[in-house]
Structure 1
């Protein structure tokens, strides 16, 4: 990767949690006062999906089988474990971002930004 590509990916990864935190703050302050319209419920559901993926990353690391990278013992099993998580996690993120497009207009960009940032973090942090 070039320096610019690395900078863009890093910025997206850093802005991901910012978007999710902004979304939850907005939901906790504005949405709670306004009531539960269908757009508010969709936005909360979408934020929940993206947050669930963010919360499952440390769970995946904690349950991951150990491998000795010096001798190569168990490395294949560990990589299979990580790859098995990628498909459901990335599909959940994509679902959350697509559903988020139907939610409140003010939360579309934070939800998509959070989904892209968390997805990039998930993939980049689990690469060998």
Structure 2
């Protein structure tokens, strides 16, 4: 039986640049991600989502890897911090908002930007 092994980048290293990370016009397809990139992101960020004990801790872990969370069009999205491009929804990576709220509580959201902010 053949197995697939995902190799994550060195600790603290951002994913390699490519079309999905750029701010180039992709004709409205910015949240359309190929399955290989989605698997790569899930492997790269999965433990951060799964072991975070608060929204603040999750935000710090994602920021260390060059990402942030934002609500865009009423959906929780993973955003590339350098380009500001929404890569996909958290649900697409397997981390739906309802499940995250059940575990981490309600997130505090900046009304102007849609970004998740530290709890008060």
TM, length-normalised to structure 2: 0.28
Q: Could you say which structure has the higher helix fraction? A: 1
TM, length-normalised to structure 1: 0.26
Q: Could you say which structure has the higher strand fraction? A: 2
